[in-house]
Amino acid sequence: MTTTIQYADVEIGTELPAQAFPVTRATLVQYAGASGDFNPIHWNEKFAVEVGLPDVIAHGMFTMAEAIRVVTDWVGDPAAVVEYGVRFTKPVIVPNDDKGATIEVSGKIAAKLDDGRVRVDLVATSAGQKVLGMSRAVVQLA
């Protein structure tokens, strides 16, 4: 693990650079192929509506993959993430148009732990709704 972010340089409340991640139907098809999750709720709106969803929704694991980028882009070496967990609270609804949806992610230092580690709490929203809960990463700093 190699990072330039120093434990001594961060404080509780330090904010990580926030990011916005676009997601369209094409993104979901590509993610389905790469992850092997071909559940039709992520690409077939007829099926999604039949099972009670408002429209096609993003894979929860896609949202989880995007949210941690606020941490990995900040810290540089993805191996600095030693723990990462989320709760899937609301789906990211992805309409069939050229804009799709946007996942907005912010993060801040919530706790300074032992051995140069910090806990980062992430907030992920889409269309004004919180889509992840209890979204936390433990990160090893230099």
Residues that bind another protein (CB under 8 A): 1-2, 21, 27, 30-31, 33-37, 60-62, 64-66, 68-69, 72-73, 76-79, 81-88, 134
In whole angstroms, the minimum distance from the beta carbon of 126 to another protein comes to 16
Structure tokens at 49: 């509506």
Closest CB to another protein among residues 41, 109:
41
In whole angstroms, the minimum distance from the beta carbon of 130 to another protein comes to 15
Structure tokens at 18: 């926030």
Closest CB to another protein among residues 8, 51:
51
In whole angstroms, the minimum distance from the beta carbon of 24 to another protein comes to 11
β-pair partners for 137: 84, 120
DSSP class of residue 8 equals G
In whole angstroms, the minimum distance from the beta carbon of 65 to another protein comes to 4
Closest CB to another protein among residues 11, 49:
49
For 111-142, letters b (16+ CB in 10 Å) and e give ebeeeebbbbebbbbbeeeebbeebbbbbbbe
Question: Residue 78 CB: number of other CB atoms within 10 A?
Answer: 13
Closest CB to another protein among residues 82, 111:
82
Is residue 58 within 8 A of residue 42, CB to CB? The reply is yes
